[in-house]
């Protein structure tokens, strides 16, 4: 039987999502729990995508196949009893055998939180403590240039090798509440460091280090990748995955 789960996690104390030998990862914790649930069989879990070290998730999605017969409710309870407290399964459901958590994604929503006010030690793992003023209006104009179909090769990690770096961004906008700026991106897919680089470039625009048309220039000429800056991981959240 194939199951789909929606879950959240605090990425602070994980070495990223992907399972890695000798490191604590989200995927590794799930596969350890599933081994106990699935009659001590090695059970692979397939997620909608991987998140970097320090990145959080509110609505990550994954699927896996189990030999044992268990109701979705009991599966959710069993997983939450075996998983560490910085992971929580919000929903479990039985799905058709052809459901695929990665290949059937319609869009993803990422949000990023940045503090331009006084340093807050209680939020240091959950909001990027930038703690300097930024030109919000310039960033709000520039972020719209991400909308549409673009080649994002300049905005991904150097070790991210893809057949195509073309992705479509459906929504990109800012909100501000007191000293917290919230960046929101909705698109059909995101690659390694893409969102963090998109935010980092906007920060440079907000600092006045780049002009408001910098994003257009980077898309027009990938050799302008030196303009791109990577924002820190702790402000980033995978908010929602839509199928």
CA distances from 8 to 55, 94, 130, 238 (A): 11, 19, 25, 9
Pairing of strands 166-177, 148-151: antiparallel
User: Is 120 among the residues known to form the active site?
Assistant: no
Residue that is written with structure tokens 């994954």 in the block: 62
Catalytic choice (52, 86, 151, 179)? 52
Pairing of strands 236-242, 107-115: antiparallel
Residue that is written with structure tokens 């039985």 in the block: 94
Q: Taking a C-beta distance cutoff of 8 angstroms, is the pair 103, 113 a contact?
A: no
Distance CA 237, CA 51 (A): 9
Distance CA 37, CA 241 (A): 26
Which residues does the annotation mark as catalytic? 52
């Amino acid at each position: 039987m194939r199951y789909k789960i929606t879950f959240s996690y605090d990425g602070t104390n994980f070495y990223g999502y992907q399972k890695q030998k000798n490191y604590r990862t989200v995927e590794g914790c799930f596969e350890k729990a599933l081994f106990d649930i699935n009659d001590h069989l090695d059970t692979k879990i397939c997620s909608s995508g991987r998140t970097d070290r320090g990145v959080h998730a509110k609505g990550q999605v994954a699927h896996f196949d189990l030999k044992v017969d268990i109701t979705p409710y009991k599966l959710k309870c069993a997983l939450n009893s075996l998983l560490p407290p910085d992971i929580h399964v919000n929903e479990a459901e039985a799905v058709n055998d052809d459901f695929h958590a990665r290949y059937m994604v319609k869009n993803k929503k990422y949000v990023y939180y940045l503090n331009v006010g006084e340093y807050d030690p209680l939020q240091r793992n959950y909001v990027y403590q930038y703690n300097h003023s930024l030109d919000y209006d310039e960033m709000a104009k520039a972020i719209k240039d991400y909308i549409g179909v673009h080649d994002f090769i300049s905005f991904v990690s150097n070790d991210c090798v893809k057949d195509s770096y073309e992705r479509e961004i459906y929504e990109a906008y800012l909100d501000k509440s007191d000293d917290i700026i919230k960046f929101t991106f909705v698109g059909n897919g995101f690659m390694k460091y893409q969102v963090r680089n998109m935010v980092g470039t906007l920060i440079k625009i907000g600092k006045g280090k780049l002009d408001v048309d910098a994003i257009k220039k980077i898309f027009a000429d990938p050799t302008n990748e030196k303009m791109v800056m990577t924002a820190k991981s702790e402000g980033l959240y995978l908010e929602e995955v839509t199928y």
